[in-house]
Amino acid sequence: MFIGHYGIGFAAKKLTFPKAKPCKTPSLGTLFLAAQFLDILWPVFILFGIEKVTIEPTAKAFQTLHFIYYPFSHSLIAAIIWALLFGLIYYAFRKDINYSIVLALVVLSHWILDLISHFPDLQLVPGSNIKVGLSLWNSLTFTIIVEGFIFLFGVYFYFTSTKAINKKGQILLWALLIFLSITYVMDIIGPPPPSIKAITISGFSQWLIIAWGYWIDRNRTGIL
């Protein structure tokens, strides 16, 4: 998934507004970071040869990547460990157990969505021969419907949980939605990645979207 993960980030904002006690709520950028945390780690592991992927342009209806080996970023046990670590780090800085739990669950949601979309290439634990995946990617139509629904669902909750405090709050949000939509369409109709290096660069570019999320939230506030 791509926009589906960001949809979860948008939707999670509903869980952080309103709040009775004064506390700095997680920014949309932090929620994006949590939702895509496994995919933030993955290109780093690919870059250093710890995990492996190949490009197979005609192999599948939706996905042109063959995920050969990625247990440290995308096995179930790794996802649980990363989720707990993410939540603990947030708690260390913010001392808010509720938001820490929300963020940990958002991190874990990435694996759950991948379970739905991926072919059976997700290990439960590193070294296991058992691999799972419900293969939504076999159908381009159903992939677009399911992922699009998750994204629109999340955007709806974000819109009903926040409001712009200035023009930037409106423009930046709509610009991001358009950017994500165009990127998604280009992933579908565009050519496969030219190289593994291009895949890692694309993975690192997600930091732009995360920064964009922080910028948006600085110009919006929660609806009480």
Is 10:160 a contact under the CB 8 Å cutoff?
no
Element (H, E) at 178: helix 167-189
Distance between CA atoms of residues 159 and 210, nearest Å? 18
Q: Domain-by-domain residue ranges, the chain?
A: 3-222
pLDDT score of 25: 87
Angle of the 140-161 helix axis to the 97-117 helix axis, nearest 10: 160
pLDDT score of 58: 63
Distance between CA atoms of residues 6 and 183, nearest Å? 13
Tokens of 224: 């009480």
Helices (DSSP H) in 19-166: which residue ranges? 28-35, 37-47, 71-74, 76-94, 97-117, 140-161
Question: Which of 54, 40, 39, 200 minimizes the C-alpha distance to 114?
Answer: 39
pTM of the entire structure? 0.94
Each of the 224 residues of the chain gets a pLDDT tens digit; together they read: 789 999 999 999 988 765 544 457 899 999 999 999 999 999 999 999 999 999 987 655 677 888 999 999 999 999 999 999 999 999 999 999 999 999 999 999 999 999 999 999 999 999 999 999 999 999 999 999 999 999 999 999 999 999 999 999 999 999 999 999 999 999 888 888 889 999 999 899 999 999 999 999 999 998 86
pLDDT score of 73: 98
